[in-house]
Structure 1
C-alpha cells in the first residue's frame, strides 16, 4: 500500500495530462473533473487538506514537473489572504454555475465548462509558479479554500504532529511551499488550516520530530 501511495504521488499527474488530451476528443471525459472538485472537500472533513498535498493530480504535476522550473520565491501575503481567496472562489463559482445552467442537459456543453475551468486554472498555476513558487495556485484554489474552511472548523486530529523533540532549526520552514512554519506547532498537532499534509517537513526534520503521531 505504501508503494502504491508513493507511485501515485510521483506519477498521478499523468491523469491530468490524460484528462486534457482525452477531453479534446470527447468533452464528456471532462466531466471527471467533478471528482477533483468534491474529493478535497470531502477529505478535509477527516484529514484536512491531505488531498491537496498527496492525491490531487494537478498538485502532483506542480510538485514533480513544474517545481523543476519554479523560482521558489515566497508568495505575497495578499494572495494567501482569505479576502482574495474568497473573491476568487465567488468569481469562479459564479462563472462555473452560470456555465452549467446555460448548458444544462447538454453533456458536451457541461464538459466544455469543466474543461475550460481546469485548463485555464492549470495555466494560471504554471505562470504563477514562474513568478513565485510551484504551489502558488494552491493558496487560492477555490476547492482548496473551501477545504481550508472545512479544516478550520473541524480542527482535525488526523494530521501531522510536531513533537517536543523539535529544536526549531527552521529547516522545515524552508521546505514548506505553503509558507507554514511547522516548528511553531512544537508539542502540538500541525493543524494549520492550509497545511496540505505533503510531509516534506517531516522528511527533512533532523530530529524526526514531525510525523503522524498522537500528542
Structure 2
C-alpha cells in the first residue's frame, strides 16, 4: 500500500538535543549516553526503512536543516563524498578512534560519557563547517551512522514514481536535502525518506511504498 510521507512535526525541534549534548554535556558527561539511544534506534529502524531515521528523527540532521540551514551554502554536494571508497575508511577511522578512547576510560561512567560528548562535538563541528561552506546535509553523505543505515537498509522503503503523472518539472530535486537527482532518488540508498519531494510534487506522482 502506498503512503504519502512528509517531514514529521517534531523534526525541526530535534536539533536542540545536539546543543544540549554538545554544551551541557561538558559539565554533565552522562548526557553523552544519549548517543547510544540514537545509535540503537536508527539501527532498529534501518532494516525496515533504510535511512528514514536520517530524514525524520536525526537530531543533527534537524540541527543542520532547520538551524544551520538559514546560513548554509547552496552548492551541490560533491559526488566524491558519496563514494564508499571515502565513507568506509572514514567510518573505520572514526569508530576505531572512538573505540580506542573508550578502552582508555577504564570503565568509568563519566569518562565513557565524555567520549561520546566529544564525538558529538567533533562531528557536529565538521557538519557545521561543511554545511555553511557547501550545503546543509553535506556531512550526511558520509556520516558514520548514515553509512551504516545505507548498508543495512539498502532497497527498503523506496520512493516510487508514477511516470504517467510525472511532468518532469524538477521541483522534487530542488527540495531534496541530499541533492539527489529524480532518477537516483527512487533507488538510491542515500535517500533519507524525508518526504519533501513528495510534498513538493504538484502532480502527486511520488510516494513511498512499504
**TM norm structure 2:** 0.90
For residue 71 of structure 1, what is the aligned residue in structure 2? 73
Moved beyond 6 Å, runs of 4+: none
Are the counterparts in 2 of residues 53 and 59 from structure 1 also a CA contact under 8 Å?
A: yes
For residue 192 of structure 2, what is the aligned residue in structure 1? 196
Matches within 5 A, 1:1-215: 6-152=8-154, 155-156=155-156, 158-164=157-163, 165-182=165-182, 184=183, 190-213=186-209
Aligned-partner Cα distance in 1 for 2:138–2:147: 13
1:28-56 Cα offsets, whole Å, 9 max, x none, are: 12111112223222211011100000001
Aligned-partner Cα distance in 2 for 1:79–1:61: 20
Aligned-partner Cα distance in 1 for 2:87–2:209: 31
Are the counterparts in 1 of residues 16 and 59 from structure 2 also a CA contact under 8 Å?
A: yes
Are the counterparts in 2 of residues 163 and 209 from structure 1 also a CA contact under 8 Å?
A: yes
Q: CA deviation at 1:213?
A: 4.7
Q: CA deviation at 1:15?
A: 1.7
Q: Structure 2: which 5+ residue stretches go unaligned?
A: 1-6
Q: CA deviation at 1:179?
A: 2.2
SS of equivalent residue, structure 1 residue 211: strand
1:5-28 Cα offsets, whole Å, 9 max, x none, are: 733112111122222233122211
Aligned-partner Cα distance in 1 for 2:187–2:44: 17
Q: Larger % of helix: which? A: 1
Aligned-partner Cα distance in 2 for 1:101–1:146: 22
Paired positions, count: 203
Q: CA deviation at 1:70?
A: 0.9
**TM norm structure 1:** 0.88
